[in-house]
Amino acid sequence: MKQLIGGSTARTLTRRSALTLGGLGLAGVTIGAWPRLTGSDIPGRKAEGLTIAILGNSADAEGRRGLAEEFHREFPEIDVHIQAIQGADWKDFFAKILTMVAAGSPPDIVYVATEGAQLFAEKLAEPLDDYIRRDADELREYFDDVHPSLVEAFMYQGSLFQLPIDWNAADMYLNTSTLHEAGLDRPADDWTQDDFTEMLRAMKKSQGAGFTPFYWTNRLFGGIVPWLYNNDTSFLTERKAPGGDWLWDGFYPDDPARSTRGGGFIWDGSNALDERVFESFDYMRELVDEGLGVRPEGGGGNSLVGLFSSGRVGATPAGGYWAQGLHEAGMGSDDFDVQFFPRNRTQRHQFGTAGYAIMRTAQNKDAAWEWLKFSARRESMEMAMPAPTTTPTRRSMVNASFYAETGPNNWQVFYETLDRFPSSGPIPAPPEQAAVENALIKNVTNAVSGSSRQTRAALQNLDRDLNLVLGSSR
Amino acid sequence: MSDTTTDRIAAGSSGTSPVGVRRKPAPRGRRKKNLFAWVLLAPTIVGMGIFTIVPIIGSLLLAFFRWDIISRPEFVGLANFADIALDPTVRVSFLNTIVFVVVAVTLQLSIALVLASMIQERMPDWLRVFFRSTFFFPLVLSAASVSIFMGYLFNEQFGVVNWLIGLVGMAPVPWLTTPAGAAAVVIIVYVWQNFGFSFLLFVGGLGNIPKDVYEAAELDGASGIKKFMNVTMPLLSPTTLVASVMAVITALQVFDQPYVLTRGGPGDSTRSAVMVVFESAFEQLEFGRASAIGLVLMLLIMAVTYVQFQLSRRFVFYQ
């Protein structure tokens, strides 16, 4: 700026100003041309296409890219975006989905496990009944191949909300070297809880310090619940909702357990003060007290594969998902094996399953249904599950070739769990699952530590917490 | 009413001086400077408004509603506050938090002060830099990652800590599966990760104490502990106040360590107030209740900070 004659001011373009302006202009053009994120890049904001949320990391999303590409080839008008969401467990994953809902960018489809099935059915997911009735002929082959117990786990108040894709039962994994060193063979199919205790004692005797005969984690799947189920009880009251006949009569008319099928499970009250619940907790307390089992910590047992494969753990409950993990940890197919959960009053097993749910907020539900049907095809499931990182819900896929590379030798146990024990039930997960799980896991450790009196006190607390959770929400 | 105001009224205008001369407008350069300052401040003010003030107001309002994200919010008055007053888990979590703050902050400040005093002693500069960096390093790590790692170290069956304890013939300690053990681990991990900040404050504070004060104390016959208690502590008290206020505010909001290490267990023994806020909101879908708990926690933090500043009038010595 320069002072001109007459006292007025005016702007003149100096060389420095010109260079500055030129630089700013260049920067503006560069920024304008740079590919950048916009609002439409936020998953769920795009009007067209399907956003599918799964629990996992970017590698898991990448693993399903082939499936998405195959789908897009068949349905070129439907774009698919797989969005992996990381979480320590399903509860974490569901919390993140809820924040996406709150942010106004919910996915169209979510891969939901049993833990969240009723939460989604109650608040977020679209029932599939009309679609299933419409495409019944196309789906008959799927239902013929999938056990009705798995389907029933996704029934809620008479409607079906998901098609199960993968599942796992809480069977018992055994370290065969440890077993042999204890002078034992693989137990019989109908082994009892007492046999199990004796096996742990023998293992402990034959191993040195730093060895744990039985390792379990404090969570809904594979924690205390299988011990409650095999004692013909649970920490929640359990009954079946009416309805669902349209599905059972239409697809499973010859199911031997047809009379027990209904419109889905209802877990709406505390059963923590049942004497059988105390018995099961007290049994676990005795195992801990005798040094046969660990005092359970929370979490998903991430370090367990390493401990089991290095021979520091003798037995642990897990599902078919463990086969690949143990194989990758260096265990041969003869180094470990699997057996049914031991019998107590019953041999009822616990299982969990997972499948895609269509969100009520999905813009294009018909397209979402096409994805669900596509994912339930055998070739799609083969693409999604090339190795035994989980158990496919299709019986035809659970075969010798699937486990040929990894083991276990008695892989038949996985699917036979449902055939042999048709009363086997899903993870007890009402719509208030997160709060129910919290109430359970926070009292388990106290219940299995110390004296029987402490067990009773912990169960009183569990009962109080469950009543607070279930009472306040109804 | 001040004389100036009376004069202004007499002059008939608050904008004019008593003698009726118009006040000089601010020089053009100053106005431009002010405008420039506002432009520079604008992003911060807008950011704080959107990301701090609005959420605080929203959270205050939400405390009077029942909202599960999915359905429409329903006004429930003070029901959320009544609900949390009756909830034993909320009561225990606040009690845990208070006990945690007392123990963790005491340890954090004590360790930081001792270590800061030690590195003020004569030592090579490179060693001093090494210690400063080492003690500060845990603070830059993710609390979640540290907690996962520490969880492995303190595992009862397979952890390194119990292995070391075993070397001296002691029985394994159930660190994470007993109330006392779990609380101890949460405090150890928290203090280990957070004392570095207080340490740096103390290092700065100690560096500002004039050497001649120590020399005068020495001439008067003071040495060792006496010098520390009668010279260092009083002159360091402003720093101690800042360090303690910040440490208390941070500790009252503890979440990561108990959430990852123990999930609040066994029982509710390590459940913190912020954990209950998180669980109420994202696990039980009770966002109104979560806001109510958050509001109570905010009031607690404000009250504790107020008390700290009130106490500082007695105990803080400004040169």
Residue spans of alpha helices (H) in A6-147? 15-33, 58-63, 65-74, 90-102, 114-123, 129-134, 136-145
Contact indicator for A262, A245 with CB cutoff of 8 Å: no
CATH top class, domain B79-315:
mainly alpha
pLDDT digits (tens, 9 = 90+) for A273-313: 999 999 999 999 999 999 999 888 765 556 788 889 999 99
- Cα A264 to Cα A244: distance, rounded to the nearest angstrom: 8
Torsion of CA B23, B25, B30, B35, to 10 degrees: 120
Mean pLDDT, range A410-433, rounded to an integer: 96
Nearest to B158 among A307, A435, A441 (CB): A307
* Amino acid letter, B117: S
Measured from the Cβ of residue A358, the count of other Cβ atoms closer than 10 Å reads: 27
Q: Which pLDDT does position B11 carry in this prediction?
A: 40
Closest alpha carbon to A218 in A442, A458, A467, A449: A442
Residue of A nearest to B271 (CA): A442
Q: Do A371 and A386 contact (CB within 8 A), yes or no?
A: no
Q: Which domains does chain A have, with CATH numbers?
A: 42-168+353-397 (3.40.190.10), 170-243+253-351+431-472 (3.40.190.10)
Domains of chain B by residue range: 3-62, 79-315
Distances (CA, A) of A103 to A42, A45, A88, A119, B130: 11, 10, 21, 19, 45
Query: What global pTM score does this model have?
Result: 0.83
Task: Report DSSP letters for B205-250, one per residue.
Answer: HHHTS-HHHHHHHHHTT--HHHHIIIIIHHHHHHHHHHHHHHHHHH
Phi (first) and psi of residue A19, to 5 degrees = -65, -40
What tens-digit pLDDT sequence spans chain B (319 residues)? 344 444 443 444 444 444 455 566 667 788 888 999 999 999 999 999 999 999 999 999 999 999 988 888 999 999 999 999 999 999 999 999 999 999 999 999 999 999 999 988 778 889 989 999 999 999 999 999 999 999 999 988 888 999 999 999 898 898 998 899 999 999 999 999 999 999 999 999 999 999 889 889 888 888 888 888 888 999 999 999 999 999 999 999 999 999 999 989 888 999 999 999 999 998 888 999 999 999 999 999 999 999 999 998 888 877 6
B266 with A296: Cβ contact below 8 A: no
pLDDT in tens, B155-198: 888 889 999 999 998 988 989 988 999 999 999 999 999 999 99
Alpha carbon distance, N-terminus to C-terminus of chain A: 74
Chain B positions contacting chain A at CB under 8 Å are: 68-70, 83, 87-89, 151-152, 155-158, 166, 174, 176-179, 262-268, 271, 279, 282-285
Nearest CA in chain B to A91: B283
- Residue A1: list chain B partners with CB under 8 A: none
What is the tens place of the pLDDT at every residue in A305-346? Answer: 888 999 999 999 999 999 999 999 999 999 999 999 999 999
Cα–Cα distance, A413 to B265 (Å, whole number): 35
Residue A298: predicted pLDDT: 62
Residue A241 pLDDT more than 60?
Answer: yes
Is residue B54 within a helix (H) or strand (E), and if so which, with residue range? helix B54-62
- pLDDT attached to residue A6: 40
Cross-chain residue pair B284–A432, CB shorter than 8 Å: yes
**Helices B160-167 and B143-153 sit at what angle, rounded to 10 degrees?**
40
Task: Measure CB to CB from residue B282 to each of A95, A296, A442 and give the nearest one.
Answer: A95
Contacts with B156 from chain A: Cβ below 8 Å: 294-295, 297
List residues bridging with A155 in a β-sheet: A160
pLDDT confidence bin for A253, thresholds 50/70/90: very high
Instruction: Measure in Å the smallest separation between the Cα of A102 and chain B Cα atoms.
Output: 6
B152 and A303 in contact by Cβ < 8 A? yes
Q: Which residues does chain A have within 8 Å of residue B87's beta carbon, measured at their own beta carbons?
A: 468
Average pLDDT taken over every residue of chain A: 90
d(CA A398, CA A413): 10
pLDDT in tens, A99-122: 898 888 999 999 999 999 999 999
- Nearest beta carbon to residue A98 from set B69, B179, B267: B69
Pairing mode, strands A80-85 and A50-55: parallel
Gap between the terminal Cα atoms of chain B: 37
User: In whole angstroms, what is the distance from residue B222 CA to residue A422 CA?
Assistant: 84
Q: Which residues of B touch A101 (CB under 8 A)?
A: 69-70
| Per-residue H/E/C for A342-361 | CECCCCCCEEEEEEEEEECC
> What does the alpha-carbon distance between residue B39 and residue B33 come to, in Å, rounded to a whole number?
10
Chain A neighbors of B290, CB-CB under 8 A? none
| B70 vs A contacts (CB less than 8 Å) | 101, 123-124
In three-state secondary structure terms, A26 is: helix
- The CB density around residue B189, as the number of other CB atoms within 10 Å, is 25
Q: B290 with B313: CB under 8 angstroms?
A: no
Instruction: Specify the 3-state DSSP secondary structure of A123.
Output: helix
- Counting every residue, how long is chain B? 319
Substitution target from A442, A449, A462, A463 for chain B, most B beta carbons within 10 A: A442
Above 0.85 for ipTM, yes or no? Answer: no
- Here the tokens at position A213 are 């005969």
- Res. A382: pLDDT tops 60: yes
Chain A residues with CB within 8 Å of chain B CB = 91, 95, 98-99, 101-102, 123-124, 209-210, 212, 215, 218, 294-299, 303, 307, 312, 432, 434-435, 438, 441-443, 445-446, 449, 458, 461, 464-465, 468-469, 472-473
Per-residue pLDDT band at A2 (split at 50, 70, 90): very low
